[in-house]
Structure formats: structure tokens, C-alpha cells
Amino acid sequence: MFANPLLDGLQFSKEPSPFVITIFGATGDLTRRKLIPALFSLFLKGNISQFKIVGFARRPWTTQSFQDEVRQMIAGGPFASVPEGLKLAFLEKLDYVSSTFDAAEGYAKLSQIVQGWEGRLFYLSTPPDEYEPIIRNLGAQNLNEATRGYSRIIVEKPFGRDLATAKELNDILATVFEENQIYRIDHYLGKETVQNILVLRFGNGIFEPLWNNRYIDHIQITVAESLGVGTRGNYYEKSGALRDMVQSHIFQLMALLTMEPPNDLSPDTIRTEKVKILKSLRPITFKDVSKYTVRGQYSEGIVQGQPVKGYLEEEGVDPNSRTETFVALKIFLDTWRWEGVPIFIRTGKSLGRRVSEVAISFKEPPLHIFKNRGSDTWNNTLVIHIQPEEGITFNINAKIPGYTTQVRPVNMDFAYGNAFGEATPEAYERLLLDALVGDSTLYTRRDDIETSWAFITRILQGWAEDPNPLPQYRAGGSGPDEAKNLLGSLHQKWRKL
């Protein structure tokens, strides 16, 4: 019922031309957890065949030691039963350059390796301070140009820390690459369930007529994580939940949910509609931050039966830190369609459950002829489950069987696993393949990123002036109680975590 035309003809018919992908920061966590597994998986599925992977990082590894590391990355989990011969064939495609990110010699060596390859994809997966020297050195070696084929660059988040730094990074990129060579990645856009939002809305006739302020009471977006910051304390201290999750992943979700229908599926048509929505965000100014935002920081507690530390005790975290590990927002879009519909957003670490979902809460019927329900249960809710469950639930009221007119909410369910019977591909697989075939639909454009940062930066400035202590919440719970203050009418309740 919810087939995804965005995937049609892309994943299986567009085989990328021979390419070399260079991963800057290849010794890091993202390479191990996401990039290598995604590339290996694409290789196993036959989506990529003629390619080379170059690891570029400071560690004094050799091609041999890089191969040994990658061998570990593809040893277990979904790859445990892959025949050794296939693993060897993949490992043979690896090369490694040991270099600092500002040393011209490293790039000269890289230039020799990539010579003769039609497609050149550069992946920035280093700490963001290294982006500038990498971009400039790629330019200095003319690696931004391809006489035959293409040269493209994928830029990982964080893409800036605020509007000024995001603009600065965009400017640096623009001195070396054209906008159509730049792929700013947001891995949420690679998730099947996120892409399906467009299909749900615009591939079905039933929802769109109701998708507006006449029928929708409010929208709730939750991205809750049960893990704390773990070993990423250093990174997280410079980020916090608003930058880490809202500016990027949650705003992308929100834009897909609320944008106007695109006329076609071309990258720029979709991206232009998303930017229009981001531009319509009603600014939260300095005087309003306490009315529309709530921050929190986790204290020690129990998560899924295990005792866990509080944020201030985590490695790499300043014991006086005011970095938020939870944020809740109430936002409005100033458009005809959405005027007056609050969008509640919450995200946090060390919460009781890992769940990402969007809940569209519809207005109640105009007249209550069945009076035996609490008023809040009259609101039909459409829930888009993003992870770990993947699917859609529509919550409707139904008559309880028997000689009564009693009513109770029940669910209509669509689960990906049941409907399609196969595991959905990993986000990074889809996104890498898109970049290789030159499809930027699921990547963010310059104006997209700068518009969302403009909104977020105002909130950050407001918070910087706020002397109040940060509310604490116990790890394993559902966030600070203060988040309830954002809600308005009786119908508005945070969904259970």
C-alpha cells in the first residue's frame, strides 16, 4: 500500500560508473560503524562493482593495516556468513594514505591514486576543524575537477555550530566546489521511513485534503534515545541536543511533513519546497525562549535495568557544563496551511526508550454524540514510526462489541516487515549510492542549512542570556517535567515514551 516510488529505478538500474571514494578520517567511528558496512553491503548486492576505497587519516597505518581493520568491520553481524572470497575481493579495493590533513604531500599521493578514475567522491568524516584544510588542499591539487566523469564532496555533520560558521563553511566549499558538486549529508533522509513521508502524503489521495490547520490539531515529533553520550562527550559538549538533532535531522523530518506538494521529484523541486517551509518558521526571539523551549540534562538513573551515569560525570564533559542533553520546542509555521497548528518537538539522550516517531493529531469531531469517552481520546492520531519500529499506525475510535454504544480507540497498523517482508536498507547505503549517481534529492542545499541555522541560532543566543539552572531529568525517564509547560489544550499531551 505504501510503495516508495522514490526508490523505483534508482537502486537497481543506475549503476554508478567506476569510482574512487576517499574517506577523510577513515580511522574514525563513522567509517567503522556506517561507511564501510554500507559500501560492503552495496558491493554484496551488486550495486557497485568497479571502485576503490581510499582511507585518508593521520594514523600511521598502511594499506595492509587498513585492510586488517576493515576485515574486522565486516566480520560479524549481518556479514558473518558472507563467503571469505567476497570479503577478500572487497579488501583488495582498499588503499590508505597516512597524512595530516594539511600536508600537501598527502594530497599529492592521493592525486596519484585517483588518477584515471572517472568518478571521484570525497567524504569528509573528520572533526569539523579539519574541513577547511582538506577542502583547500583538494582544490590545490585540482582534485575538485574531473576531466572525465565527476568530482563530488560529501560533508558530514556538524555543518557549522551556528549561522555564521555554517555560512563560513559554505563559503569555503564554494571557493573550491560548485554547489552541484557538494553533498551535505543528513542520514535521516536516507531512512526508508522518512522517505515514505512523501509517499504517504502525495502518493495517496486520502491524507492531503486533511493535512492542514482545518483538520490537524497539532503535530508531535519525538526522537528519543536510550543511550547517553558515551565516548562522545568531547563532541557533545560543543553541540548539545538542539544543534545535534534539531537543526539537522528533526528539521528535515519536519520539512517533509509540512512542505507543499512538489510538482515532480527532481532534487531542486523538492529541496525548494523544503526551504520554503524552513523560511516560514516563526522566529523564537530572545524574550520568548523560555515560553517556547525547554532544555534538560540527564542525571544518573536506570536505563533498561542498568544503572547509568549522569551527564556531568561522563568522560570529556565539563562538571559545570550547561550543555543540554534534552530539548523540547513548540514551533509554528507562518503559512496558510499551518497557521495556528503547534508542532511539538522533543529529543534527548538517556531516555527510557529509543523511539523516533511523528504523531499527527487530528481535531475532534464537531459534535460528540458518543459521550462516554474522555475528551482527549477523540483525536484520531496518525503515527509514523521511524525507528526502531518502522511503519504507520492510524488510531481511530471504534465501537466496543455488545449492546452498548461505548467507544474505544483502536489501531490500524502497517509494519514494513509484514508488508514487504525484507529488511529496509541502511540509510548510508542509499545516500552513498545517490551521491555516486549524482542524485542530490536527499542531500541538503546551502539555503536549506542556512535557513535552519538562522532559526536555531536565535534560540542559542536566547539561551546564552538565560541565567536559570538547567532542569535535570533522571536517566531512563521521559525528560524534564518542565516540557509539559509547552503544551496547551487538553488534547495536547506528550506521547508516552
Tell me which residues are annotated as active site.
Answer: 249
- Angle of helix 36-44 relative to helix 63-73, nearest 10 degrees? 80
Classify residue 393 by burial, with Cβ atoms within 10 Å: 0-12, 13-18, 19+: middle
Binding mask 103-142 for ligand BG6 (x = CB under 6 A): ----------------------------------------
What does the per-residue mask of binding to ligand BG6 show for 425-464, with x meaning CB under 6 A?
----------------------------------------
Q: Which of 244, 364, 390, 426 binds ligand BG6 (CB under 6 A)?
A: 244
Distance (Å, rounded) from C-alpha 384 to C-alpha 15?
Answer: 31
Rounded to the nearest angstrom, the gap between the alpha carbon of residue 400 and the centroid of all alpha carbons in its chain is: 40
Question: Smaller CB distance to ligand BG6: residue 69 or 225?
Answer: 225
C-alpha cell at 346: 522533543
Nearest approach, Cβ of 157 to ligand BG6 (angstroms)?
Answer: 6
Scan residues 338-357 and list those touching ligand BG6 (CB under 6 A). 356
Question: In terms of C-beta density within 10 A (0-12 exposed, 13-18 middle, 19 or more buried), how is residue 188 classed?
Answer: buried
Minimum CB separation from ligand BG6 for residue 425, in Å? Answer: 13
Options 69, 217, 225, 434; binder of ligand BG6; rule CB under 6 A: 225
Shortest Å distance, C-beta 90 to ligand BG6: 24
Nearest Cα residue to 490 out of 357, 379, 333: 379
Residue owning grid cell 497498523: 413
| Strand (E) or helix (H) holding 223 | strand 216-224
Q: Are strands 306-308 and 326-331 parallel, antiparallel or unpaired?
A: unpaired
Residue 253 CB, shortest distance to ligand BG6, in Å, is: 11
Q: Could you give the string, one character per residue 143-172, with x where binding to ligand BG6 holds by CB under 6 A and - elsewhere?
A: --------------x---------------
Neighbouring C-beta atoms of residue 401, cutoff 10 Å: 7
Amino acid at 356: S
Residue, CB closest to ligand BG6: 244
Q: Using CB under 6 A, count the residues that bind ligand BG6.
A: 4
Closer Cβ to ligand BG6, 114 or 242, answer by number: 242
Question: C-beta of 356: minimal distance to ligand BG6 in Å?
Answer: 6
What does the alpha-carbon distance between residue 274 and residue 254 come to, in Å, rounded to a whole number?
9
Residue closer to ligand BG6 (CB basis): 95 or 426: 426
Query: Which SS3 state, helix, strand or coil, does residue 381 take?
Result: strand
Residues at the site binding ligand BG6, with contacts judged by CB under 6 A: 157, 225, 244, 356
